[in-house]
Amino acid sequence: MAGAGLKTFAAGDVLTATDLNTFVAQQVIQVYASSSARSSAVPVPSEGMASYLSDLNIVETYDGANWNPIDSSINIRAAATASFTLGAGDAGDLLEVNATSGTVTVTIPPDSTYSFPTGSQINLLAIGTATVTTAAGTGVTLNGTPGLKLRAQWSSATLIKRGANTWVAIGDLSV
């Protein structure tokens, strides 16, 4: 149970399997040669787990759906070609949009659907020629100036969560 807190063991205390799992195994940085080695060793990770990958020299944490780096590098995610709603695993990533026509809308869901932590940042990059726009889901406030569309191909923007259901879009935006 990650997040169980700190337990100070005294001389003579019995270290049970539950204590070992709760206060040691689930609250340390585990070292693996690669992500595939980690996947083999930990096929079903728990939210909050952390690991160090020697081949990439990065520390990652598991958010319940994806492993995310906690260093200064970001994951570049496969190009989206259709409209989508943000969700688990998107925070901190660069989401590429590679559609060649029409409009691709990136929607921020309300906290009741998926609650990103305040301060979360999601980067968008329009690598195709389609119009890329950002939109607020029901009950979400999204501010940006002069508008909420990425201006052109190769434009980028960052969505930042400022509070409960409150976001701002900054970057190469247009009306």
Residue 1 has pLDDT above 60, yes or no: no
Taking residues 81-88, report their average pLDDT: 93
Strands 131-136 and 103-108: parallel
d(C-alpha 165, C-alpha 109), whole Å? 8
pLDDT for the residue numbered 128 = 95
Give start-end residues of each CATH 2.60.120 domain in the chain.
Answer: 76-174
Tokens 């990650």 locate to: 2
* Pairing relationship of beta strands 84-85 and 50-53 according to DSSP bridges: unpaired
Helix (H) / strand (E) element for 19: namely helix 17-23
Residue ranges of the chain assigned to CATH 3.40.1620? 17-69
Is it the case that residue 54 has pLDDT exceeding 80? yes
Each residue of 139-148: pLDDT tens digit? 999 999 999 9
Provide the whole-model pTM.
Answer: 0.64
User: Each residue of 60-71: pLDDT tens digit?
Assistant: 899 888 888 886
Q: How confident is the model at residue 75 (pLDDT cuts 50, 70, 90)?
A: confident
Contact 151, 174 (CB under 8 A): yes
pLDDT digits (tens, 9 = 90+) for 86-138: 998 898 899 999 999 999 999 999 999 999 989 999 999 999 999 999 999 99
- Kindly report the CATH number that applies to the domain delimited by 17-69: 3.40.1620
* More confident: 53 or 156: 156
CATH of segment(s) 76-174: 2.60.120
